Structure 1
Amino acid sequence: MKRKLIYLTIYLGFFATFSAQKTNPIIFADFGIGIGNDMTAKGGFLFYSSLNYEKNKNLITVRYSQLNELGFDVVPVAFIVFPLVTNDVNAKEIAIMYGRRYTKENFSFSFSGGISTNIYEQNLKTEDGNYFKQNTNYLGLPLEFSIKWFKREKSPYRIYGLIPVGKPTSLGNSIGFKLIGNISQHSYIGLGLDFGIGYHKEY
């Protein structure tokens, strides 16, 4: 009887230790919209999305971003000239990065750098008024700094952050800000409002 109690105690001890260590992985996706500039006089809209995985504060990120720079032109119609907003530049990036991420309760900040492949699409205008595209492919050094807020503890997932669904879970949404950039032939910098979904910490 004593031996069974000893075995049971040891088993429960191992089970408790294993259960304490068995937590959800830290993996989440995010997307954002903001403003950016490629170091020229023109600015534009920045769009991005990324997939992130963290282990022991080591952060791996795969990111896609696109900077649409705007310009202005005029279109003469009869005796009237109409202003026209044009999309002069599309700067596209696919990047893989390594960084560090630090979490405290319902807040995290991270910084990363890596390597990227980039496409710079310019919409140019000839002297006779015709438009044509010019594409440039190049490598770059992507960088980012991110801050996020997410739920503090397990709770039912909330659709649109309002409607609770199901049992308490580690899955949740996040909101924050992300400063991103790329050092390259066509360097740029941008700031975006960030929205995320996933497992943002070990619960």
Structure 2
Amino acid sequence: MAGSRSERLLAGAGDALTASARVRLVEEATAGTLDPPSFARYLLIEEGFVHTAARILGAAVRHAPGWRAVTGHAASLHGLVTEQSDYFAEVRRDRPVPAEDAAACLRRAAPLSETALRAAEQGYPAIVTSLFAAEHLYATWCARAVDVPAARPDAVQEWIELHARPPFTDQVAFLRAEVDALGGDVSDGDVHHWFTAMLHAEDRFHDAVYA
């Protein structure tokens, strides 16, 4: 198959990506029909995964092949511990989740962090591919959602807009470039596996708010 590594990856994983961008939570957030308790549970688990992602980005900085990659991952890490952390601190304040419900929801959502942490143990190619899967998914559905006229709560609208503009979209482009730069010793099969494993974990993660 011709094209860049990322073009081949996105073509091969197209069905999985489309399915992940159409799960119930995404569709309800897009339509403005996500109920407040489900949104509160989503905020809980998403904040937890942001903490995991920050650790994985630390590993990406540690194993980055050059200074450009170091600065790119550092910029992403900065966004998580500033803009996104500020968002969660504000919106979760008035959206508590009962302790028992929270514990069960976090257990259901755990496979996403587990998948990402396993990737971090496998080295830099697995890290950037897994991060690209997660971030490209969000850029995809939020870019679609931001153009859908819907009466959404302000916090949902802000979350969508956060992932449909720079610096987030710049970070997605950076990760795509890192995937393209992976050496020939990394097979397309491995890249496809890491990418789709992350998407499938994202599906379980998003469904965790409803069980």
State the TM-score, normalizing by the size of structure 2: 0.23
* More contact order relative to length (CA 8 Å, sep ≥ 6): 2
TM-score relative to the length of structure 1 = 0.24
Give the number of the structure whose residues are more often strand, by fraction: 1
Which structure has more helix as a fraction of its residues? 2
